[in-house]
Structure 1
Amino acid sequence: MPQKLLEQEGLTSKEAQKRLLEYGENTLSAKKKSGPLKIFLGQFRDLMVIILLISTVLSVMMGEITEAITIIAIVLLNAVLGFVQEYRTEKTLEALKEMAAPAAQVVRDGEVVSVPASQMVVGDVFLLKAGDRVPADALILSSTNLYADESLLSGESEPVEKHPAKTLETDFGPGKLEAVYMGTVITKGRGKAIAAATGMESEMGKIAGMLDDIEEDPTPLQLKLDQLGKIVAIGCVGICAAVSVAGILRGENLFDMIITGISLAVAAVPEGLPAIVTISLALAVRRILKRNALVRKLHAVETLGCANVICSDKTGTLTENKMTVREVVTPDRRLTVAGENYADSAFFEDGKKFEAVSHQGLMSLLEIAAFCNNATASREKGGFGLKERWQTTGEPTEAAIQVLAAKAGVIPQELRWFREREIPFDSDRKMMTVVGGMGSRHRVFTKGAPDILLGRCTRYQDERGVHPLNEGVRSRILKENNRMAETALRVLGFAYRDASSIQGNLEEDLIFVGLAGMIDPPRPEAKAAVEKCRRAKIRPVMITGDHILTACAIAKDLGILREGDLTLTGKELDEMSDEALDRVVAKVSVFSRVNPGHKLRIVRALKKRGDIVAMTGDGVNDAPAIKEANIGVAMGGGTDVTKEASSIILLDNNFATLVAAIEEGRVIYQNIRKFIRYLLSCNIGEVVTMFVGMLMGMPVVLTPIQILLVNLVTDGLPAMALGMDPAQDDVMELSPRSSEESIFSGGLLGTIVFRGMLIGLTTLSMFVAFYRLYGGVEAARTGALMTLIVAQLFHVFECKSETHSLFGVPFFNNKKLIGAVMVSGGIAFLASENTWMRAIFQTIPLTLNQWLLVLGASLIAPILSALLLKLGREKPLENPVPMKTVRIPRSDSFGG
């Protein structure tokens, strides 16, 4: 930082204007973003969408206006949804800009004037007071009890005490106690500072730059649907050409064969697939919302199912974000403190309940905790049978010890002392003192850092009374203090003395009464959620700005940090190359004292090795890593910047909610595979019916209008209902699938082709049977049409499981599917039995015997599949696909 830019008396207006032209405005800039029209048109670049648009044109050419309108509606729906999601992501930097201060009190020409924060320049001297948002990164010139809330940058909620810089050549960077940062808030005190970095050079600007440089990758599902689109495109061209050429070689009319080939190619396109994917994802979003997670980007739902690493912030996500006293030590006792609810509150010694009122020294400690305190604690009614809980206001540490006192019934308002004087805590003394009065008596109540406080004590109190403080007792107390600190407890010491006056040096000749150790405790449900992750082969990783000891203590308690795992600090990360980080990142379970750049490096290192990463956070410091992650997860109480960068928002800030959302992600992918299997099997059945029939010299088996009926009846409601199948019991017991795994993995493609061929051959056999038994092409086509539809409706139930046949699936756990099949079956029945519909679809009415023949023939394929599955060489694994990578014998690929 050049010395010439740091004039402590402020700048002149002329110099400020000169620097404004030289350095630019104090604003956050960004690369030029795509306009709304460009974003909307970009939605039509997907290969599947292009195929559907071509199908629309072909449908119009064939006179199938209804199908054309249906397809174009599906395409437009997907385009609008994609546009909304992409356009919303453009708002991230706008939210970041809003966090800049609107104005600043700046020294110009020797006077304090208010100027827009955007006009501030490096070298400007400005004033700060409680409630101000800091307008630029700056070094502190002078301060009085100055505290800043830097949670949006550091992730830690407690305000940081600030001190004047000893030299203006201080190495500037994040986390400096002699500096304040753009966008942070002054919570207490006042001060004067000199701007050292503005605009994009500030810490906030660097975060904005990181956000701007991050490009969003397509989700695994989008990649798989693109892969499917390529397969469908090749298949459609091949089908159209093969059918047309075969018919022409057989002597059929050229134009009729081209129309038939085109109609079959259109039939082969699963035009319902994008709509069903969209609707299934939307329904999953609703289910996830009921579990307290708001999904902002639709395709992120499915990506959750791939996640194999969750990088979680500590404070408020894995912990409760409220300090709680866990241990109290007096010179003669070591007690644990239990109870989140009022009725459960208790002190324990060696597992046995301990009555606080029986210990004179403990009661003195609790009295100090309640009186030397500016926080409040009260009982909050639970209602509806819920237990009473503690409601607190004030600084977290003070609130924790106020609750500690209240648990033993020591309430400030009920004490006999009234407050006469307060000596606030400061970083030099590391103590706070309140003087209480009662008539002519005065008592000094002091709390503070144990090692400092002990130096001011000459006596101690236990349950027997007050005694001189000898070196043995002092050593034992310090040893207890170190033990508690090593378990990541924040330790406070407590002391008192009676005084003849409220003036003079009151913090001496004190009587020591004990220590209280507190921590931000883990959420009760977080431990179970971590265990659920472990069973699901998902690796939880803690990334926090907190101290390494605190982070490791919480991580061990939750099961995140296990034997053999590594930990890294931000300082160690700075000393590591990217290559070195790549080598160890898979073994690190805790990252502590990290900044925004560190978080971004960690996520990129994990993605580089092929992990699908979910990243949680709530502060601006988390936004770049959240945007870079495969699944960015913001906290409901977090900043707007983080929310805009995220894919999912946890409304209750709970790690367990994220695990529940991952479970839904796994379910939706399983269901997507189910209806892809169903749709493609049905389409292949139609293609086999038409193509093989033509090769065998039969008349055209189904007319274009009959093919359209099949698509409308089978591709719509049943496939959609299949996408709402409930989760299987073991969905979170299986390993996450690889993001590179094909959507047809685990033999699914073989199953689809084989079942499609069975459906097609069954339909052809019924065409031949009806033609011979009942005479006439119209009767044969009716029998074939009904067989094709009924066989597909049976097959939809087979698609509920990849390891069970039609006769082993749970039929009644998806009532929507049963309803959809009944509606589709009813439409097919009317197409044969209703006079008006018969005229449209060129069918004849069927007798009871003919319907029984259709039903019997339609069951041939499921029965054959069940037999093949039963005769398989290996016992089928329960749902090995898509979550587990296992070898399946080729014969299993042909099962239901």
Structure 2
Amino acid sequence: MSEKQQDHQPSTRDYNPGGLSSREAHRRLEQYGQNVIAKTKHISGIQAYLARFKNPLVLILLLAAGISFFMGEIASGTIITVIILISTSLDFANTYRSEKAVSDLERSVHTKATVLRDGKPHQLDVACLVPGDVVTVQAGSIIPADGKVISSNSLLVDESSLTGESYPVAKQPGDQIYMGSSVASGSGELCLTATGAKTEFAHIATSLNHGNTSEFELELTRFSGLITHLTLGLVIFILVINILFQRSPAQSLLFAIALAVGLTPELLPLIMTINLTKGSLRMSKKGVIVKKLAAMQNFGAMDILCTDKTGTLTENHISVAKTQDFNRTECRKIIELAHTVCQLSSSYKSPLDTAIISHHQAKLTGTQPVQELPFDFERKRESVIVSQADQLTMITKGAPDSLFPIISHYRDKNGTARHLSPLLLDRLRADYQELSQQGLRTLLIATKSLETKDEYQTKDESDLTFEGFVCFTDPAKKSAAKSLRDLNQNNIRVKIISGDDPLVCQRVAHALGLEVTKVLTGDQINRLNNLQLAKIVDRTSIFARVNPSEKLRIIKALRQQGHVVGYMGDGINDAPSLKAADIGISVNNAVEVARDAADIILLGKSLRYLNDGVVEGRRTFVNTAKYLKMSLSSNFGNMISMAGASLFLPFLPMTAPQILLNNLLYDSSQFALPSDNVDPVQLEKPRQMNIKSLKEFMLVFGLISSLFDFITFAILKLVFNSTAAGFQTYWFIESLVTQTLVVLIIRSPRAFTKSLPSKPLLASIAGVILLALAIIFSPLGRYFGFVQPALTPMLVISLITLSYLVVVRVVSLLMARHNELIK
């Protein structure tokens, strides 16, 4: 960086070289608010609770209670009011716990920035930044807010998220810089000019107003809407029938309102949120932080994992193994040159750079930095220009394949530069291949003498002199072999996507027992069109020497083949692939731009954490599917039963308070479902929600439920000649017991003794049934219109319930077998 650049400062009014004082920063935070795009308005617990009463269904129930009081039905009005208070309290309590848990998890992976406050650098949450703050950024940093560049050291910024431009843009002092972009290489200081909603990024986000909604969420929303419309249609039908039969208009209206509330799956979002939240909390205990709850569904469905090998498949204890010059001997000068580049480079320090610095801990003496040509993923190299004894020298470090074409000389045994003929270049390539076959990662070091000029460019990287190779070792991680076997047993195929040499990647794969079917390099991928890549990508195990754009093509090609793809990365170049994959996975010590793009953060860079997380993701999926199957089929069956009963019964099959009580008790029994045990066989394969299968399940088991309801109606009316109150009491019992017990039947295809439900679920179901019976047999029962059940009808109801559960069990086993045969 030149002195001119260092001294230049833009005319930014708020700029203070030492940063803001803590007092002034606090004042500005109060004035401008937090540096967040979508500002969440904080409301008190009382406000959050009262907000539940804005729900349309709750408002309808309050209207029903008001009508009851107006018509003199004091008992019905009181019961409806009490049920509203209980259900909203349950909703509030569970939602509050879930939101707090998610908030705690999100705080654990918040992005931080290096900010000057009171003249000293501090690591602060980006939400605390204010206009006027002085922020230091380096390669891998996310630009936390809009600002102007104060100082620049070869600062290159990726603005593709804002402009779509794929190449990084050089930033000089005085240039504007925007939130949402990231530092590709170099470093600099910024003075922030706008934060939060005032940034350009916020304006773009607001105008686009888009979110990453999964296909499952869209299908489920449409399906819930269909159920709601069907329910409302049947409710209107039932209301008309009751009025035509000249039943009490007030009672008919209350019945219709209660039916609409009772049959609409209004708790579906809450139950799913609780399920996903509990799953994410279990995953956090195993070292997996879920940033987005919706990602849980994709995590359980993932069948291909793409990952780099460094730190994931290897120990990530990279060390310099040796250096090798043209004469195939050790040479100290090679490591000294490499060390000079690493020390003077402002680019993101890779593990290889760290290994070089650790290996050669010497101070630079007599070497003055002049300029830097930062690393980028197109050139795959970096250079520094230094002055030594009034001689300007370019030292270049990079991937051998990227440097071979621009090398023209080598040094003989005496250190004299000689012309490198094509034959000798082939010998150098062969040496490199041999080192790779030994499992050594290799960098090439080259130099060039320069003439003095104002500025050097990448085109000056030509006619270089080969100095030698720096070779590194990073042994295969012993624990990775077991993790790979576990992932394979869970039907997840692992593919290596690496910037390393293919021979090095293959050596690591073989050491870990990973089957290698085919290897593709970046150059080979570039010669394929998208259709050709799609045909070959599925059977390829290793993708080597790939750059970010090639990684992106691989991810998209795998997804086009119908795979649910997970991508694990922690570098600057991994961000696009993390966003493109179905599930982006990074680690807690990754660069900011990678953590920001990921859906899931691992607290350790190990496949063991990932495998544990996948199992928890599938467990969450299976329990979510149980609730969906049970809830949707139960609601559909009740719709049919209510419509049929209204046609031939001279009274309402259930009163409004009874329907609401049934709904409250049933929903309460499901809050323990996320804790249910899951069969090991259900965790072995990736799980994807099949909406078509859900519809089939709803139709089949909804109709079975209605069939047994009609049998119950016929026996109660024709055999026992039940009064209205007796009929309502017995059907209330049958309806609640069958709804709550059926989950024990459909939860697993295995025998009950071999697949026991969790204790919380059993306790919840038993508690709800006992509570319902206690209400019926207690004095409280008469306020709901219940009568004391007789022994004989209760025995018949028990027999009907048992028969229903047996039929459901047989049909569920037949459907499971049929689905397996189709697969």
TM-score (norm 1): 0.59
Within-5 A mapping of 1:545-624: 545-558=499-512, 562-568=516-522, 573=526, 585-607=537-559, 610-624=562-576
1:594 CA drift (Å): 4.4
SS of residue in 2 equivalent to 1:764: helix
* 1:321 Cα deviation from its structure 2 partner: 0.8
Give, in angstroms, the shift of residue 823 of structure 1. Answer: 0.4
Q: Which residue of 2 aligns with 1:10?
A: 4
| Residues in 1 aligned to 2:235 and 2:414: alpha-carbon distance in whole angstroms | 93
| 1:673-713 Cα distance to aligned partner (Å, 9 max, x none) | 11112222333343343222221234211111111121122
Give the Å deviation of 1:859.
Answer: 0.6
1:234 pairs with one of 223, 226, 229? 229
The amino acid across from 2:310 in the alignment is T
Q: 1:138: Cα distance to partner? A: 1.9
Report if aligned partners of 1:685, 1:759 keep a CA contact under 8 Å in 2: no
- Within a 5 Å distance, the mapping from 1:259-338 to structure 2 comes to 259-323=254-318
Deviations 1:425-460 (A, max 9, x none): xx99xxxxxxxxxxxxxxxxxxxx9xx999589xxx
Q: Are 2:288 and 2:613, in contact at CA under 8 Å, matched by a contact in 1? A: yes
Alignment of 1:353-752 (within 5 A): 396=355, 483-490=434-441, 519-558=473-512, 562-568=516-522, 573=526, 585-607=537-559, 610-717=562-669, 719-737=670-688, 741-742=690-691, 744-745=693-694, 747-752=696-701
Letter in 1 for 2:483: A
SS in 1 for 2:243: helix
What CA distance in whole angstroms lies between the structure 2 residues aligned with 1:209 and 1:572? 36
> What's 2:764 paired with?
820
Contact 1:535 1:732 survives alignment (8 Å): no
Aligned to 1:511: none
Q: Give the deviation of 1:761 after TM superposition.
A: 2.5
Identity within the alignment, %: 21
Tell me the amino acid that sits aligned with residue 57 of structure 2. S
Say whether the 8 Å CA contact 2:595–2:601 is kept in structure 1: yes
Task: Rate the CA distance shift 1:769–1:598 in 2: closer, same or farther, 3 A.
Answer: same
Matched to 1:226, the amino acid is T
Residue among 780, 795, 808 paired with 1:852: 795
- The one-letter amino acid paired with 1:10 is K
**Cα distance per residue 1:786-813 (max 9 Å; x no partner):** 1222222331211212x45xx6574634
Q: Does 1:783 align with 2:730?
A: yes
- Give the equivalent residue in structure 2 for 1:756: 705
Change (3 A) 1:221 1:210: same
Q: Relative to 1, partners in 2 of residues 1:585 and 1:199: Cα closer, same or farther, differing over 3 Å?
A: farther
- Find the aligned partners of 1:225 and 1:875 in 2 and give their Cα distance: 22
Alignment of 1:796-815 (within 5 A): 796-801=743-748, 803=749, 808=752, 810=754, 812-815=756-759
Partner of 1:841: 784
Q: Alpha carbon RMSD of aligned pairs, Å?
A: 5.8
Offset at residue 249 of structure 1 (A): 2.8
CA distance in 1, matches of 2:810, 2:9: 89
- CA separation of 1:279 and 1:483: change in aligned 2, threshold 3 A: same
- Superposed CA deviations along residues 841-871 of structure 1, whole A, max 9, x for unmatched, are 221223444433332221111223345567x
- Secondary structure of 1:723's partner? helix
Aligned to 1:160: none
Contact 1:247 / 1:694 at 8 angstroms: preserved in 2? yes
Cα distance change on mapping 1:572 and 1:477 into 2, 3 Å: closer
8 Å contact from structure 2 (residues 105, 291) kept in 1: no
CA deviation vs aligned residue, 1:303-337 (integer Å, no higher than 9, x gap)? 211223322232222322113799999xxxxxxxx
3-state SS, counterpart of residue 859 of structure 1: helix
Counterpart AA for 1:723: P
2:64 corresponds to 1:62 = yes
Residue 499 of structure 1 corresponds to which residue in structure 2?
none
Give the Cα–Cα distance (whole angstroms) in 2 for the partners of residues 12 and 302 of structure 1.
Answer: 50
Indicate how the Cα distance of structure 1 residues 85 and 686 shifts in structure 2: closer, same or farther if over 3 A, else same: same
Residue of structure 1 aligned with 2:806, choices 863, 867, 870? 863
Q: CA deviation at 1:824?
A: 0.7
Question: Are residues 866 and 195 of structure 1, via their aligned partners in 2, closer, same or farther at CA, if it must alter by over 3 Å?
Answer: closer
* Aligned counterparts of 1:479 and 1:686: Cα–Cα separation in 2: 75
Task: Kindly indicate whether the alpha-carbon contact (under 8 Å) linking 1:311 and 1:616 is maintained by their aligned counterparts in 2.
Answer: yes
Structure 1 alignment gaps of length 5 or more: 1-5, 19-31, 41-48, 105-115, 121-132, 140-149, 154-171, 175-179, 183-193, 330-364, 366-373, 375-391, 403-418, 429-448, 458-475, 493-514, 889-896
Q: Tell me the secondary structure at the aligned position of residue 756 of structure 2.
A: helix
Write out aligned runs for 1:130-209 (5 A). 136=152, 138=154, 199=177, 204=182
Q: Distance in 2 between matches of 1:690 and 1:94?
A: 51
* CA spacing shift, 1:246–1:491, aligned 2, 3 Å: closer
For residue 57 of structure 1, what is the amino acid of its counterpart? L
Shift of 1:548: 3.7
- The structure with the largest alpha-carbon Rg is 1
Greater fraction of residues in helix: 2
CA distance in 2, matches of 1:762, 1:52: 40
1:247 aligns with 2:242: yes
Matched to 1:856, the amino acid is: L
> How far apart, in 2, do the equivalents of 1:600 and 1:97 lie?
28
Q: Any conservation in 1 of the 2:300–2:686 contact (CA below 8 Å)?
A: no
1:256 aligns with 2:251: yes
Q: 1:813 to 1:267 in 2, by over 3 A?
A: closer
SS at the partner of 1:730? helix
Residues 346-378 of structure 1, C-alpha deviation per residue, up to 9 Å, x if partnerless? xxxxxxxxxxxxxxxxxxx9xxxxxxxx9xxxx
Task: Give the C-alpha shift of residue 99 in structure 1.
Answer: 8.7
> How far apart, CA to CA, are the structure 1 residues paired with 2:273 and 2:531?
40
* Deviation by residue 1:525-569 (Cα, 9 ceiling, x = unmatched): 333333444444434333333344333433454466622353435
Q: Offset at 1:635?
A: 0.3
Corresponding position of 1:792: 739
Cα distance change, pair 481–277 in 1 and its aligned pair in 2 (3 A): closer
1:310–1:541 Cα contact (<8 Å) kept: yes
One-letter amino acid of the structure 1 residue matched with residue 60 of structure 2: L
CA contact (8 A) 1:323 1:400 kept: no
Shift in Å, 1:619: 3.0
Contact 1:798-1:809 within 8 A present in 2 as well: no
Contact 1:328 1:517 in 2 (8 A): yes
Q: Does 1:768 align with 2:717?
A: yes
The 8 Å contact of residues 502 and 519 in structure 2, kept in 1 or not, is answered as: no
Matched with 2:822 is 887
Q: Which amino acid aligns with 1:887?
A: I
Cα distance in 1 between the residues matched to 2:596 and 2:323: 43
Q: What residue in structure 2 maps to residue 876 of structure 1?
A: 817
User: In 2 relative to 1, CA 841–766 (structure 1 residues): closer, same or farther, beyond 3 Å?
Assistant: farther
Q: How many residues get paired?
A: 648
Q: Is the 8 A contact 2:239 2:253 kept in 1?
A: yes
User: For residue 796 of structure 2, what is the amino acid of its counterpart?
Assistant: L
SS of match in other structure, 2:4? coil
